[in-house]
Chains A and B, each alone.
Chain A
Amino acid sequence: MSVLSQSTKRGSVLIVGGGIGGMQAALDLADSGFKVHMVQRDPSIGGTMVMLDKTFPTGDCAMCMISPKMVEAGRHLNVDIHTLAEVTSVDGDAGDFTVRVKLAPRYVDADKCTGCGDCELKCPKKVLSEFDQNLGQRKAVYSLFPQAVPNTRAIDASQCLCLNDPDRKRCRLCEKACKAGAINYNDKGRELELHVGSIILSPGLDRYDARVRQELGLGRWKNVVSSIQFERILSASGPYKGVVQRPSDQKHPKKVAWIQCVGSRDNHNANPWCSSVCCMYATKQSIIAKEHDKNIEPTIFFMEMRAFGKDFDKYVERAKNEYDVRYQRAMVSAIREEPGTGDLLLKYASEDGRLITEKFDMVVLSVGFQPHGDAEQFAKTFGIETNEYLFAKTSPFAPVKTSREGIFVTGIYQGPKDIPETVMQGSGVAGSVMAMLAEVRGTEIVKKELPPEKDVTGEEPRIGVFVCHCGTNISSTVNIDEVVNAVKDQPGVAYVTNTIYACAQDNQDMIKQTIKEQNLNRVVIASCTPRTHEKLFQETIREAGLNKYLFDLADIREQCSWCHKGQNEVATKKAIGIVKMSVAKSRLQEPLQSETVGVTPACLIIGGGIAGMTAALSLADQGFPVHIIEKDPELGGLIKHVYRTLDGLDVQEFLKDRIGAVNEHPKITVHTGVEVKKTDGFVGNFKTILTDGSAIEHGAIILATGGVEYQPTEYLYGQTPNVITQRQLEKTLAEGGSPGTGKRYVMIQCVGSREEPNQYCSRICCQDAIRNAIAIKERNPAAEVIIVYRDVRTYGLREDYYKKARDLGVIFVRYDVDKKPQVEQTGSVIQVRTWDYMLDRELSLTADWLVLSTGLRPHPTTEHVGAMYKVTRNPDGYFLEAHVKLRPVDFPSEGLFVAGLGHAPKNIDETVAQALAASGRAGVILSHEHLAVSGIIAKHKRELCMSCLSCFRVCPFGSPYIAEDGKVSHNEVKCMGCGICAGICPAKAFQVNNFRDDQILAMIDAAVESEPGVVN
């Protein structure tokens, strides 16, 4: 804990880097009472994830997931985004840092720019698009990608014709095109000084420049592309609009090869670490490519398939079996272009050692991650230590803490990792910061003062319609005057006008003024999409005293003018129809009140292992009472049997320290030897009865039920004392056991993992084996260790230890699942027979000790706990999170979170990060005195309800429930407003606010009225 007192601590936080990890931290912190400054080098936030087409292993669209988060961060009252910005100095100490930030000139005034893009259309200068990885073009005045946040263009000074003319006289076309007057060629940039309590570093990653590997031909052969280029090729908004084609001749490739580990796992001319994600993204890219074009025949050249994450092995199996992806275990030594055809000849050695040359139409190089080029200077600026590879230095026990107090790290800057782990760390740093700055929570946030709401009940609708030109974006295709004329006589419409930019500040003021002058009680704005602008306009009318739900946005830009360019007459007719539909809905709109519910600021944590204790300490430091429920007589969980981390830290010392801290913390109550008997309630208001009869009231729940080790039945385990598990070997080694000279340890990997019915990787066993093997070799180099493995999965920076083990003389022999090792015992001798693919013959090994690397299973209580809290589990029995990418610690039902092995197998550092994330997510809820319920929810009319339970069965959030009178009731706090209940209810007892059936029917009628079909 910091020694600074409250008076000197700051309630604001600086986040350096606006990728998905930084954004998650920003939203969690800003939603729980902290002011956030986000500094981003690029002109938009988004980072790497926005460049991806889809994500593994679910195939979700990356942009569809991240875009709402970007919009949320961009619009958040307590998140200030500084783009084109870099931190130049950091002074002060934890709790009170002074940070200087340099903002490069944007040449576009963000306060005036409406994001309409007229400037970009007029700009004559085309340059290669870095976002599309040089496969496409952009203009000199540009936005990084269509969904950029902030939605403000920037001028690329190195390319702009005007800025490169000393007299500033050339071109200036964007200035002329901008009706908002936002272009400023004299922008000099500026400097900022920020005072913050804490700093979060999430600068993201750079990619290995594969042009260095000349033998692979990137930059030389046109049809060799990097994996990030291939993401852009796959993207529907990319340079080829999602058509898989070759850069050289736009031909559709048939045979496509992926080459793994380009720039990774290579000590000689690249990076020694494993980049953790390439095996999976190559699998994803091959599947998606095949979905785009079924004629594609993908081949992935790899060394080891590292599908170590949740459901990853199943994904690879699907790729093999359903998509015919060929996985070829080989390193490609050289790629040559066949003259004239653009085809590529790949040279590699097959597994039996034959040299093969194979022809492909296109090659994708799976490039790895590395820290940014300026990582050394970056670390100096913030005064933090790095490891030898320039990643931020952290400990497995505190994975988001840097060496400087008050400065935290998330994402790839801490080590290579995928999106969910980055998001987990994002929430994890948020949790850590909440604990560190607990007493100044809420001191620096901005709150909006609003006028009282005008009561419009019983009034006839007086709708004001504002039709936006959006510069020329709408008006060049849609005749605005015609639209105005067509709606002015619509029933309920009291006032219609047009506006150049409805979203510009001066026009917002005009709208507010008009609402008052014309005594309007409903507003329709015909402009752009509600997905980005609805909240803005809702706030505007609320500021004018109208309930924010008396508003509708008619999208005549994205869904009309932009896609019907040049068809002015029909586009105008369609726009009229769209506005009439909105007006029809608006007439039936009612003011909606958002209910609020109180929050009990306490948390219940089920499971007293390392996940439960870490989350408990973080929440308790945030100031919330915490109850840990542990069914064993003592705290500790599975980690009680672990002695050392891979990098040699003392786990038992750490555990002792944690248990001590938990027991001493005044805010934590530990209930051992008990389980949950009964539970009830909803977010903010849970009540739990324990088996000892005690009752606890709390606002959030963390399920940290943990896991158990698989008890093997194979390989003579239990039949002879010389067949042991890695855990048993670890204990012997920890107790000082010394391996004898000439003694041979044979280790078999994947015992009980990666095979039906447990088709998943247990993630920790490769490292357990390598850690024990290193310990044996270090104590007695004359002892022999042979690891019989399927794929060595020492992902990320763990790869160093794989190398160390090999250097120490540990022998690795690969086996295939359909040719598993055979173990026999004759007398006291254990004989292991396995096929050696390198020698292409069977090996027979005599083992003094046979050590089995046994996998993990979810704790047996997971089933019971899952059923009690109505949370689903995956086929392997692990809890299923709300979303595998962006909500890795949430459940679909609000107020419930997951951490640790109950979610999936993971290492200690990952468990700690997820536990901190759960504490951050729970902290967001518990920091509110009241939670506001959205206005857009389903309303239940009990008098119409027949309690048929249709809604009860289909609701994904569990909001309909059976009340004490035996009939269905509806908990509006849990409702997310999806309306599935309304769709299925035969009695129409459910109606969704603002999407009521009468409103939808009115829209249908209006749509037809404006465009009657052929009816006789």
Chain B
Amino acid sequence: MVDGAVTEQTGVSTIEKPREIPEGWEPNVLAFACHYCAFAAADLAGVMRLSYPPNVKIIRLPCTGKLDHIHILRAFERGVDGVFVAG
């Protein structure tokens, strides 16, 4: 059984214990960015050749107001380590 899951028998959730962070582990981050500002800023970072860790990918939204709870929940459910919303 995975910690934090809801047990089928009892329906009671257990609180996940903090894990040890493995050596050299890098979080997998998913970013949601507004087309008009944060996505543009990410572009500018590239144009200026500013370097940042590659373990972040960006999903473009027409506005961060479009962001839905299910997007964030799905990301964590699938094992993303961090969600970054910028707009």
Q: A: which residues have CB within 8 A of B?
A: 63-64, 67-68, 146-147, 236-237, 241, 529-531, 555, 557-565, 567, 570-571, 573-574, 577-578, 581, 936, 954, 977-980, 982-984, 992, 995, 997, 1000-1001, 1003-1005, 1007-1008, 1011-1016
Contacts and interface: CB of A to CB of B under 8 A. Distances in A.
Contacts of A978: 62-63, 65-66
Contact of A567 (B19, B22, B50, B54): B54
Interface string B17-43: 001001001011010000111011011
A564 B45 CA distance: 11
Given A64-B36, A64-B37, A562 B80 contact: no
Interface residues of B, number: 44
Contacts of B75: 1004, 1007-1008
Q: Which of B19, B47, B57, B59: most chain A CB closer than 10 A? A: B57
A1001 B70 contact: yes
B40 A980 contact: no
A1013 B46 contact: no
Contact of A1004 (B42, B43, B62, B71): B71
Contact of A563 (B52, B57, B68): B52
A997 B22 contact: no
Contact of B39 (A531, A562, A563, A997): A531
A1013 B59 contact: no
B62 A977 contact: yes
B68 A983 contact: yes
A1014 B22 contact: yes
B59 to A, nearest CB: 5
B75 to A, nearest CB: 5
Contacts of B74: 1001, 1004-1005
B43 A992 contact: no
B66 A1013 contact: no
Given A531-B39, A1001-B74, A563 B62 contact: no
B58 interface: yes
Contacts of B37: 64
B48 A980 contact: no
A557 B30 CA distance: 18
Contact of B43 (A559, A980, A997, A1011): A559
A565 B63 contact: no
B79 interface: yes
A557 B45 CA distance: 11
B54 A1000 contact: no
A236 B42 CA distance: 13
Nearest to A580: B57
B76 to A, nearest CB: 10
B66 A983 contact: yes
Given A571-B54, A581-B57, A1013-B27, 4 more contacts: A559-B46, A570-B55, A1008-B80, A1014-B22
Contacts of A1016: 2
A1007 B30 contact: yes
A1000 to B, nearest CB: 6
Query: What 3 pairs between A and B have smallest CB-CB spacing?
Result: A979-B66, A558-B46, A980-B65
A564 B63 contact: no
Contacts of B25: 1014
A578 B68 contact: no
B51 interface: yes
B36 A1004 contact: no
A581 B66 CA distance: 18
Contact of B62 (A564, A979, A1011): A979
Chain B at the A interface: SS class:
loop
A675 B84 CA distance: 51
B45 A1013 contact: no
30 contacts: A63-B44, A67-B40, A147-B47, A237-B48, A529-B39, A530-B60, A558-B42, A558-B44, A560-B54, A562-B46, A570-B54, A574-B55, A578-B57, A954-B65, A978-B62, A978-B65, A980-B63, A982-B66, A992-B62, A995-B66, A1000-B61, A1001-B74, A1004-B30, A1005-B74, A1007-B80, A1008-B75, A1008-B80, A1011-B28, A1013-B79, A1014-B79
Contact of B44 (A237, A564, A992, A1005): A237
A1008 B66 contact: no
A531 B35 contact: yes
Contacts of B42: 558-559
Nearest to B81: A1013
A1007 B78 CA distance: 10
A610 B9 CA distance: 78
A583 to B, nearest CB: 14
A574 B43 CA distance: 16
A483 B59 CA distance: 19
Nearest to A578: B57
A531 B52 contact: no
Contacts of A997: 68, 70-71
Given A1005-B78, A1011-B28, A64 B40 contact: yes
A563 B27 CA distance: 18
A1007 B57 contact: yes
B67 interface: yes
A771 to B, nearest CB: 44
A983 B57 CA distance: 21
Given A531-B35, A1004-B74, A1008-B80, A577 B40 contact: no
Given A67-B40, A555-B43, A992-B66, A564 B54 contact: yes
A529 B60 CA distance: 11
A473 B61 CA distance: 26
A1008 B78 contact: yes
A1002 to B, nearest CB: 10
A578 B58 CA distance: 8
A567 B44 CA distance: 19
A982 B28 contact: no
A236 B45 CA distance: 10
B35 to A, nearest CB: 7
Given A978-B63, A979-B62, A1013 B80 contact: yes
A751 B81 CA distance: 60
A1008 B71 CA distance: 13
Contacts of A529: 39, 43, 46
A39 B36 CA distance: 28
A1014 to B, nearest CB: 6
Given A983-B68, A1015-B79, A563 B50 contact: yes
A637 to B, nearest CB: 38
B49 A565 contact: yes
Contacts of B44: 63, 146, 236-237, 558
B9 to A, nearest CB: 20
B46 A563 contact: yes
A562 B49 contact: yes
A563 B65 contact: no
B79 A1012 contact: yes
Contact of B78 (A567, A977, A980, A1004): A1004
A1004 B44 CA distance: 24
A936 B35 CA distance: 13
A562 B44 CA distance: 10
Contacts of B61: 979, 995, 1000
A979 B63 CA distance: 7
A557 B78 contact: no
A983 B67 contact: yes
Contacts of A63: 44
Contacts of B49: 562-563, 565
Contacts of A563: 45-46, 49-52
Contact of A531 (B40, B65, B68, B70): B40
Contact of B54 (A241, A574, A1013): A574
